[in-house]
Amino acid sequence: MSPTDTPPSQVPQAPRGLRTAGVVAAVGAIGLVALGLTQRAASSNQLQEWTAANVIPTVAVTQPKALGDAGSLMLPGRLEAYYSAPIYARANGYLKIWHVDIGAQVKAGQVLAEIETPDLDQQLAQARADLAKAQADAKLAESTAKRWQAMLGTDAVSTQEVDEKNGDFAAKQAAANAARAAVEALATTQGFRRIVAPFDGVVTSRSTDIGALISSGGSNGPALFTVADTRKLRVYAQVPQTFMPSIKVGSQADLHVPEYPSRVFKATIENVAGAINARSGGSLVQLVVDNADGALLAGGYADVSLKVPPGAGSVSIPASSLMFTREGMHVAVLGADNKVLMKDVAIRRDLGKTVEVTGIELSDRIIDSPPEALVAGDSVQTAAEKSDGAKKS
């Protein structure tokens, strides 16, 4: 044994309490690590379960609704006066005076305005002078022809000369007739100095004033007046081709106008164009509505509600359930195994928030507001199923 070695019995020993505390601390550290690992594993499992649950899209499901015996087809329409006539001048001149303004009720033949026609007056005076001269010439030619005709039996004149005098008389007589016709034409035109209403109605426009230069015809400016008969109004609407078989002359329709939101006006289908407009894809339908109280305004807008029966196999679905792709229009339907099926549909009528379509059964479960990426064969879960699963967990 070396002098520097210490006997085992003389090595210092740690106190028993310190050793116990170290063992407890080590065991506690190991327990904390184990607990942390366990919690981490549990969180990872929960995250995996949540991710797996949310990989499957959650959708809202609704049912198609059956349509009644008849539905309303709402269309925009325009109101027009039953009769409306723009009044143009037939004589040149200057407006002398107008007697009625817009909104005035007028009777057929009532004078609306008067025109001064100085040029026309001079032309008429000249034509009457020409007529007097032509008549004088014709009278002289007639007497001359009679005298020469009387001398023909005495052999004082030749037959040729008598024929010439008779021909001259016929020509002068024709000239007098032409002059008379010219006078009558100018006199008729002069009668248009007074502008009159063509029928009973209301003056809806006045586009002239005192002293204005008036030109005859309708190509040189707006109409001087417009007179309209608004006791009845015509209503025009474009009906889609699909519904034309349901449109019958004599059928009733409801009109709604913005100025009377709570009032319904009754109209009757009077005529159908019988042809499809290539631009609108519809046919023009004419209705007539009574307007004795003057509530409706010609030229205004109206909503036309037509009663049309639903098509065979048609149901009503939310417009938000429609899907538009390059292949066409579809509706996503939920199968028995929660697999998505795509059904082709055709819109028969747009009802606003809902649409009338064909290609869907009443028993189908329709996915409302489907995700854009949804395709046939995808698995989905309903909102109710997701809620039940959350409660169970």
Q: What is the mean pLDDT of the chain?
A: 83
pLDDT for 28-42, tens place per residue?
A: 667 666 666 666 666
Give the pair of three-digit tokens for residue 199.
């029928």
* Whole-structure pTM value: 0.60
* Mean pLDDT within 154-181: 88
Question: Is residue 23 over pLDDT 70?
Answer: no
Output the pLDDT for position 301: 94
Q: Inform me whether the pLDDT recorded for 393 exceeds 60.
A: no
Strand pairing partners for 61?
A: 367
Per-residue pLDDT reduced to its tens digit, 292-313: 999 999 999 999 998 877 666 6
Q: Which of 26-40, 136-150, 361-375 has the lowest mean pLDDT?
A: 26-40
Q: Specify whether the CB–CB gap between 296 and 330 falls below 8 A.
A: no
Structural domains of the chain, with CATH: 58-69+313-392 (2.40.420.20), 75-80+230-308 (2.40.30.170), 118-192 (1.10.287.470)
d(CA 349, CA 71): 10
The amino acid that residue 389 corresponds to is: G
Q: What is the pLDDT of residue 217?
A: 74
- pLDDT tens-digit series, residues 198-210: 999 999 999 999 9
- Residue 336: which region, alpha, beta or left (left: phi > 0; alpha: psi -120 to 50)? alpha
